[in-house]
Amino acid sequence: MAAPIRLLFRRVFRFSHRNINVDSSGVAGGFICSCRPSSCRCFSDSTTERSTHFGFETVPEAEKATRGKGKLFYSFSVYKVFENVAQKYDVMNDAMSFGIHRLWKDALLHVMHPQPGAQLLDMAGGTGDIAFRFLEYVCFQQEKRRRRAARSVQAPSWQHLEPDTSAGKEDGPVRSRAVVCDINKEMLSVGKQKADGMGIHEGLSWVVGDAEELPFDDDQFDIYTIAFGIRNVTHIEQALQEALRVLKPGGRFICLEFSKVTNPLLARIYDAYSFQAIPVLGEVIAGDWKSYQYLVESIRKFPDQEEFKQMIEDAGFYCVQYRNLTAGVVALHSGFKL
């Protein structure tokens, strides 16, 4: 028993110091950044092959998000990371955030404030947390409307005393729908199992798809959400343009993502916890150290609040704003398609 524990602590020490020493640009030596840090795309000074970050590593763009074909099914694809952690994904979210991720997702729903009939695309929705909340919230709004209608019948207002001119019109409002889209089949499989266990079947669809090339027609959705997923996309600008394309005019883009902590003291504590504790939790709970090491590193490579806000505006969204949660550990960005 003592030997495995000693081995685990040696791995903690080794991995917590791995790749921390990078140059001021945040890119390993030998590579020259070709554009602003937000895109995180670089070119090797010895080749013209486009490359990007995978955590603190630099890898060819084609290899970051691959789903695995032949020799390209390697250990550092984003697809492989989430395939490895899918079964323990929800448990790890609770462990890593001490359950606070539930409050962050609740905050997203309150900002969204969806009404009955809303059509939601939850990109990188994986295990369905946002979609389930959306459907529950819409049902609550429907129930409020029914109670309000019942009260108005008991005490009719002047509108109800007017002659009924609705004969011949179609009955019933448009039903709300949530589409969970994710590039990873394993994550969607876990989400479907959760939905079955909760008895949720109507108004919910599961689609395998890439955020950079969505399998939907233009102007399809009222709301596009992506929670803790956009930092894993190779070309963030392209994913934002796809979000704009599939939203209806007046539709809303909402992104919940890890960001830059605003309090210096909390930032130091957060860094120490992230690099030294989270990979250990990944090893103990999910049996996967490397995937959670990548997740920690990917957070540090993601643009800060203002930079990401500018990227959303550059994609064509209007009225873009953000709100920090837990002192900037997470930021909630939103914008509208006009």
Distance CA 216, CA 203 (A): 17
Distance CA 4, CA 85 (A): 22
Token pair 């005393």 in the structure block, residue: 161
Closest CA to 308 of 253, 263, 246, 268: 253
Distance CA 1, CA 114 (A): 52
The CA R_g of the chain, rounded to the nearest whole Å, is 22
> In sequence order, what E strands does the chain have?
31-33, 41-44, 50-54, 57-60, 119-123, 177-182, 204-208, 221-227, 247-258, 318-325, 330-336
**Which tokens sit at 304?**
């800060």
Instruction: Say if CB 59 and CB 46 are below 8 A apart.
Output: no
Region label for 253, one of left (φ > 0), alpha (ψ between -120 and 50) or beta (otherwise):
beta
Distance CA 188, CA 182 (A): 7
Task: Report the binding-site residues.
Answer: 127, 182, 210-211
Distance CA 90, CA 64 (A): 23
Instruction: Say if CB 312 and CB 238 are below 8 A apart.
Output: no
Distance CA 76, CA 210 (A): 18
Instruction: Say if CB 294 and CB 314 are below 8 A apart.
Output: no
Instruction: Say if CB 278 and CB 296 are below 8 A apart.
Output: yes
- Could you tell me whether strands 204-208 and 177-182 are parallel, antiparallel, or unpaired per DSSP bridges? parallel
| 224, 131, 53, 270 alpha-carbon torsion, rounded to 10° | 110
Task: Report the binding-site residues for S-adenosyl-L-methionine.
Answer: 127, 182, 210-211
